[in-house]
Copies of this chain bind each other. A is one copy, B any other.
């Protein structure tokens, strides 16, 4: 997939399912993914992977145990490895994710929304 340019709007138009990240690029052992979010995912952490969230549309709140991080379009946040977090988007959001290929969707927590 690295040989062609990637149009984000086109890629977002290719799927509707929420909480199901789509891989759009792979480089240096990392994935770039797009995801549509609505509601909340679940509390989880990734023991060995930092995870970047970049908001493309809408509003995303990343709940951390000690505070909430509120992100709007054009804002990003890195959840460091080992830090519990719960992504929430009550009104819906589209996000770009940048994370290692080894990253599990909801860490060691399995819910109905977990994609394996």
What is A's interface to B at a CB cutoff of 8 Å? 2-9, 25, 27-30, 32, 49-52, 69-71, 74-78, 80, 98-100
Contacts and interface: CB of A to CB of B under 8 A. Distances in A.
B75 A8 contact: yes
Contact of A9 (B51, B74, B77): B74
A75 B28 contact: no
30 contacts: A2-B50, A2-B80, A3-B80, A5-B70, A5-B71, A5-B75, A5-B76, A5-B77, A6-B77, A7-B74, A7-B75, A8-B74, A8-B75, A8-B76, A9-B74, A25-B52, A25-B76, A25-B78, A27-B50, A27-B51, A27-B80, A27-B98, A28-B30, A28-B49, A28-B100, A30-B30, A32-B52, A32-B76, A32-B98, A98-B98
